[in-house]
Structure 1
Amino acid sequence: MKVFITFGAGGQNYIDAGKRLIKQAKSTGYFDKIILYTEKDLKNDNEFWNQHSIFISKNKRGYGYWIWKSYIIKKTMEIMKDGDILLYLDCGCEIGDSIQLLIPRFFNDIENDKIIGTKTKNEKEWCKMDLLLHFDMQDSNLIHTSQHQAGAIMFYICEKTKFIVDLWYNTGCDYHMIDDSPSIKTNLNCFKEHRHDQAIFSLITKKYNIYSNKSLYNCIYYLRNKSGFSKLGKSDS
């Protein structure tokens, strides 16, 4: 089974963006199940909402610094079987005709690669020292490599990936690791800003060496389109 999920909350525009992306995902015909999670789903989940509602209400950025992301991925994995494939995209992303034909190539690769995503700027610039110390990675050469992004991720469902996502979520439950609170220990001189759930995800996938060098940039548009209308040209939409 192949499952596609996204999330929209914090404003009607995010929900509209999620609906737009869901429509694009359906048009591919690649997925057996497609889910748009919203604030309502989180509020109806007592396990999550009882624990994090206050944190979310006090931190509008990322609707609680994106703490929901690893959780909805975790909960979706729990209803899937080993060998299934899960694709998560931020609602700002888009899927267009011109490159969506490449998605099945990643379906073929994911069993071996386990996690395929995208990469961005240097890790050490976008991760606070306390998180580096938490994973004992402050002296690792891996912090000099590109950070693994958390806005577009494909997972092969297995014990390894479920472990990664559980650790991702549980680490973020220590809010200091996911929010913008200053690092207690001195940051590296090159530090610019903490990248929240993404920094956690990146360090974990590096520490456990479970991440592909392939890139989903080749099959999706990694945008920040916070609307229900596509920004792609007619040839791509």
Structure 2
Amino acid sequence: MLHFMTYGDHKFTNSKKRIVQEARNFGFDTCTVYSPDDLEPQFRNLFINILRQPRIGGYGIWRPWLIKKKLGEIRDGDYLCYIDAGCTINPTAHDRMKDYLRMLDQSDYGIISFQMTHLPEKWYTTEEIFQYFGVGNGVPLDGSQDTVVDDIRESGQILDGILIMKKCAHTEMLIDVWLKAVFDNPFMFTDIYNGIQTASYFIDNRHEQSVFSVIRKKYGCVLLAKDETFTMPWGSPECMKYPIWATRIRG
């Protein structure tokens, strides 16, 4: 089965209604729309100060929690698409979606990921995140024993607002590592470390996206070097080939 999920607070009420209708029109077997009320009280209370912050409804720390919740509700081998409420689903691009699912079936990895090759990781990820995952310093703090090379810093950041997943051990492991990072150091997901970065090239932390980008580079994913979610102009012949557009519609 092919499942759809999205999330949004009151700022995205109309977008949630729009995209869930688009998902139904596309042919998803199930459609689930989450809001802050769907987070369990214990999680909300533990991270209340972060969840109150306006950026991504609390720096996106809810994302791994909700994806783990949804994965627990579907069967092994099912497909799950997390798509930000501000995105658009193109109803005519079924062939490319079938390609994505075929890629997952033929891979040991469980997530299709889109890379922004023009945006190096090091521009949008803090040293605290790199250090946590042992990127370049050889001392991982995430519980692994791996030493990761600096290529992770130089390669383009990987998008996390659109995730095409197959429920399997690899996918569940990635989400567990992501969620563990929330509990180990939730401040990595925030802007708190931005002011102490010393590298001249650093621009801004991208929060949950920065963390999950490094995770997927470290532990593997089905990586598409072209960001097919952002093909301008919207509705052009090239754009119409792709099923999910990162249109960033608010409201």
Q: Same fold (TM over 0.5)?
A: yes
Picking from 21, 24, 27, the partner of 1:26 is 24
User: In terms of mean alpha carbon deviation, does 108-117 or 173-182 score higher?
Assistant: 108-117
1:211 positional shift: 3.3
Match of residue 231 from structure 1:
none
Give the counterpart letter for 1:213 in structure 2.
L
* CA displacement 1:167-193 (0-9 Å, x = unmatched): 112212322210000259744321110
Q: Is the 8 A contact 1:148 1:198 kept in 2?
A: yes
SS across alignment from 1:206: helix
Picking from 52, 58, 62, the partner of 2:56 is 62
Q: Distance in 2 between matches of 1:183 and 1:220?
A: 31
1:126 positional shift: 0.4
* CA displacement 1:124-168 (0-9 Å, x = unmatched): 100011111111113511211110111101111111110100111
Runs (4+) of structure 1 exceeding 4 A deviation are 183-186
Q: Confirm or deny that 1:40 pairs with 2:50.
A: no
Match of residue 230 from structure 1:
none
Q: Distance in 2 between matches of 1:96 and 1:219?
A: 5
Q: Distance in 2 between matches of 1:185 and 1:78?
A: 38
Structure 1: stretches of 5+ with no match in the other structure: 228-237
Match of residue 135 from structure 2:
137
Q: Distance in 2 between matches of 1:99 and 1:122?
A: 29
Match of residue 122 from structure 1:
120
Give the number of the structure whose residues are more often helix, by fraction: 1
SS across alignment from 2:7: strand
Q: Distance in 1 between matches of 2:72 and 2:154?
A: 34
* CA displacement 1:181-208 (0-9 Å, x = unmatched): 0259744321110110000000000011
Structure 2: stretches of 5+ with no match in the other structure: 137-148, 230-241
SS across alignment from 1:119: strand
Q: Distance in 1 between matches of 2:217 and 2:133?
A: 10
Give the counterpart letter for 1:158 in structure 2.
C
1:107 positional shift: 1.7
* CA displacement 1:102-130 (0-9 Å, x = unmatched): 21221222222521122221101000111
Q: Distance in 2 between matches of 1:216 and 1:114?
A: 18
Q: Distance in 2 between matches of 1:64 and 1:163?
A: 23
Matched positions, count: 221
CA RMSD of aligned residues (A): 1.9
Q: 1:184 to 1:193 in 2, by over 3 A?
A: closer
Match of residue 4 from structure 2:
4
Match of residue 238 from structure 2:
none
Match of residue 149 from structure 1:
159
Q: Is the 8 A contact 1:66 1:196 kept in 2?
A: yes
Instruction: Give me the TM-score of the superposition, normalised by structure 2.
Output: 0.82
Instruction: Give me the TM-score of the superposition, normalised by structure 1.
Output: 0.86
Q: 1:152 to 1:216 in 2, by over 3 A?
A: farther
Q: Confirm or deny that 1:110 pairs with 2:104.
A: yes
Q: Is the 8 A contact 1:114 1:212 kept in 2?
A: no
Q: Distance in 2 between matches of 1:54 and 1:199?
A: 20
* CA displacement 1:39-82 (0-9 Å, x = unmatched): 2212xx2232222223212x121111011111111110111222
